[in-house]
């Protein structure tokens, strides 16, 4: 990773949180992701398993983590498994972690090489009653590919059919949704990098610039600040293209008089920022553009005021929808008759705001966390209302990242320019 070394206490505390939830005389095993082929003899850039990273801070392929708190041999109650460094392989693919490096990064004392694990693991399994195995239980998962974690489940159940099995993901979904202060420190660094990049763009953007040139500036700025790169494919959408929520072509000219919607964020230390700002290409909002922008900013601030421990995402979304209805009436997008005659299953405001308002954020951009239980202190959410007007070929979205605490929200992006006046002033400079 390109980032400076992280505090291993972050991962130590995460492991303590998981182990405290394990049943007596149980073992938990976490495996890394596959290296995924693209074309020919090439592979995609490796991305480690998010749960394994959350527990260890290790990003190297062919890694494993094993918990066995009741192991009679105390040395093996917490084990990090790594591929043994190989001189020939390192000539081709680069250096692999040494024992002391992995210990420093993760805070795990016992390192076992993968090629010597088999005999040890079998004896540990025979001593345990319950086996925790991990799978990808992100609600937004779309891929049907049977990944390494699922294949490992099949292998373990085939070899040890009489053991009792539990879902590690069920525990991790709850734990990863609640961020510690140490996690927020890393996330804030990703956000600060994103802040610096946005300010750079305000000086760079002008009529005639291409969307891909803006994307290039983003990537350059991220990498120059020790970011691993984009947290997700940046959305650089000028004019009517801003109405396409996941527009990633980024291949058109930004024209005088248009608004440009930019949704981007840096990854740092495995944690992801997620920012959206909408700015005028020429540095000056028209009166109508500012009216729509301020209506969206009002919804953004209103949504932030609602996100508190105890509210459900369903109630939160409904309340924002009610306020959106009032704002859309105010700026002429809806008529009273539209609201009176609306379909309760497809409300009138949905014509102009057709996505959710918030999602969990962390190691994954759409991070783990419940969407049915009440919001809890410690959760991090995006807040990103939008207004998309086909007849005006305009799209506006404003997004910040909030940490929910017992003492109120902490807007982690509070220093990033957000008002129309601040944006215009910085673009003028």
pLDDT tens digits for 180-236? 999 999 999 999 999 999 999 999 999 999 999 999 999 999 999 999 999 999 999
**Once rounded to an integer, what is the mean pLDDT over residues 12-26?**
98
Question: Is residue 426 very low, low, confident or very high in pLDDT (cuts 50, 70, 90)?
Answer: very high
Q: What is the DSSP string of 275-302?
A: EEEEEETTS---HHHHHHHHHHHHHHHH
pLDDT at 141: 80
Tell me which of 3.90.230.10, 1.10.10.10, 3.40.50.300, 3.40.30.120 is the CATH number of domain 181-428: 3.90.230.10
Q: What is the pLDDT of residues 367-393, one digit of tens each?
A: 999 888 999 999 999 999 999 999 999
Q: Residue 41: phi, psi to the nearest 5?
A: -105, 20
N- to C-terminal Cα separation, the chain? 35
Best CA proximity match to 173, nearest among 23, 345, 373: 373
pLDDT at 322: 98
Token pair for residue 56? 């260890």
pLDDT for 145 beyond 90: no
Q: Where are the beta strands (DSSP E) in 154-292?
A: 164-167, 229-230, 235-238, 259-264, 266-268, 271-272, 275-280
Residue tagged 């700015």 (tokens): 279
pLDDT for 140 beyond 90: no
Domain boundaries defined on the chain: 9-176, 181-428
pLDDT at 260: 98
pLDDT at 150: 96
What is the chain's mean pLDDT, rounded? 96
- Global pTM value: 0.96
Report strand pairing: 408-411 vs 400-405: antiparallel
295 within 8 A of 392, measured Cβ to Cβ? no
Q: Which CATH architecture has domain 9-176?
A: 3-Layer(aba) Sandwich (3.40)
pLDDT over 90 percentage in the chain: 93
pLDDT at 129: 98
pLDDT at 1: 82
- Angle in degrees, 0-180, between the axes of helices 287-306 and 420-428, rounded to the nearest 10: 130
Other Cβ atoms less than 10 A from the Cβ of 222: the count is 27
Q: What is the pLDDT of residues 253-269, one digit of tens each?
A: 999 999 999 999 999 99
pLDDT at 191: 98
């Amino acid at each position: 990773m390109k980032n400076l070394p992280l505090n291993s206490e972050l991962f130590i505390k995460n492991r303590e949180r998981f182990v405290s939830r394990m049943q007596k005389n149980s073992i938990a095993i976490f495996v890394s992701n596959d290296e995924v082929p693209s074309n020919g003899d090439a592979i995609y850039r490796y991305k480690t398993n998010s749960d394994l990273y959350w527990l260890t801070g290790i990003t190297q392929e062919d890694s494993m983590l094993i918990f066995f708190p009741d192991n009679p041999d105390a040395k093996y109650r917490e084990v990090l498994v790594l591929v043994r460094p190989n001189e020939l392989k390192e000539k081709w693919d680069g250096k692999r972690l040494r024992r002391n490096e992995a210990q420093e990064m993760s805070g795990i004392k016992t390192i076992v090489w993968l090629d010597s694990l088999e005999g040890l693991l079998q004896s540990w399994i025979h001593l345990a009653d319950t086996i925790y195995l991990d799978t990808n239980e992100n609600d937004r998962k779309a891929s049907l590919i049977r990944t390494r974690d699922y294949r490992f489940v099949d292998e373990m159940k085939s070899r040890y059919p009489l053991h009792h099995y539990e879902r590690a993901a069920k525990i991790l979904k709850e734990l990863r949704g609640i961020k510690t202060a140490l996690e927020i420190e890393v996330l804030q660094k990703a956000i600060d990098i994103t802040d610096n990049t946005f300010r750079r763009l305000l000086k760079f953007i002008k009529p005639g610039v291409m969307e891909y040139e803006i994307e290039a500036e983003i990537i350059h700025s991220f990498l120059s600040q020790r970011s691993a790169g984009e947290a997700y494919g940046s959305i650089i959408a000028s004019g009517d293209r801003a109405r396409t929520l996941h527009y990633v072509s980024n291949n058109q000219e930004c024209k005088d008089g248009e608004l440009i919607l930019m949704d981007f964020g840096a990854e740092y230390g495995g944690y992801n920022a997620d920012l959206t700002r909408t700015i005028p290409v020429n540095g000056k909002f028209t009166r109508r553009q500012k009216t729509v922008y301020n209506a969206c900013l009002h919804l953004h601030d209103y949504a932030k005021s609602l996100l508190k421990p105890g509210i459900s995402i369903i109630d939160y979304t409904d309340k924002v929808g009610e306020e959106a209805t009032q704002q859309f009436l105010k700026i002429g997008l809806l008529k009273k008759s539209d609201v009176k005659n609306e379909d309760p299953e497809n409300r009138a405001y949905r014509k102009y705001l057709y996505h959710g308002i918030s999602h969990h954020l962390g190691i994954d951009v759409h991070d783990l966390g419940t969407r049915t239980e009440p919001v809890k202190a410690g959760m991090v959410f995006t807040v990103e209302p939008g207004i998309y007007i086909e007849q005006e070929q305009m799209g506006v979205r404003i997004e910040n990242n909030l940490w929910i605490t017992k003492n109120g929200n902490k807007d982690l992006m509070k220093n990033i320019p957000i008002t129309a006046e601040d944006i215009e002033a910085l673009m003028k400079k």
